[in-house]
């Protein structure tokens, strides 16, 4: 165990656990964490805005995919660890037709598109189209 210079384990708030391990003592350490707090996620490592890290996806009419199916597909492509979130638009009276995938790094959409405007994939026997997400094209 590392002991801060000029002090012993008791005065520094560090010590051994009941089994003799080197775990720090948390009693009286001044930490006040909310056990009901939401998990914190750091911002994307490449510092880019969300729009540049997104792909817009469309489904064939009547053949949508779930968030889990989309995640599994991108995991098979070795991009699963970069998926930050998947949003599927779910209208009340019809099946989903489109969605958005946000990645943790901006290179992922570029790697998936590989220089093309849009790409088509067959996922679990269903077709999805992916293109660069552009907020200004919403509603067109």
Domains of the chain: 50-137 (3.30.70.330)
Token pair listed for 25:
């003592």
Q: What is the mean pLDDT of the chain?
A: 80
The predicted pLDDT at position 69 comes to: 96
Tell me the CA distances in angstroms from 112 to 40, 43, 67, 78, one per residue in order: 28, 22, 18, 11
C-alpha 108 chain-centroid distance: 12
Residue 12 has pLDDT above 50, yes or no: no
For residue 125, give both structure tokens: 């026997």
Q: Look at residue 61 and give its three-state secondary structure.
A: coil
CA-based max dimension of the chain = 70
Provide DSSP, 25-36.
P-TTS-----TT
Question: Which region among 4-8, 38-42, 90-94, 108-112 has the lowest average model confidence (pLDDT)?
Answer: 4-8
């Amino acid at each position: 165990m590392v002991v801060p210079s000029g002090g012993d384990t008791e005065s520094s708030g560090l010590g051994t656990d009941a089994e003799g391990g080197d775990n720090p003592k948390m009693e009286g350490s001044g930490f006040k964490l909310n056990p009901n707090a939401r998990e914190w996620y750091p911002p994307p490592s490449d510092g880019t805005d969300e729009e540049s890290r997104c792909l817009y996806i469309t489904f064939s009419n009547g053949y949508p995919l779930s968030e889990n199916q989309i995640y599994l597909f991108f995991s098979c492509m070795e991009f699963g660890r970069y998926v930050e979130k998947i949003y599927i638009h779910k209208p009340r009276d019809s099946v989903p037709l489109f969605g958005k995938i946000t990645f943790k790094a901006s290179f992922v959409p570029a790697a998936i598109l590989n220089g093309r405007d849009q790409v088509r994939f067959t996922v679990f026997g269903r077709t999805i189209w992916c293109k660069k997400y552009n907020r200004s094209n919403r509603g067109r």
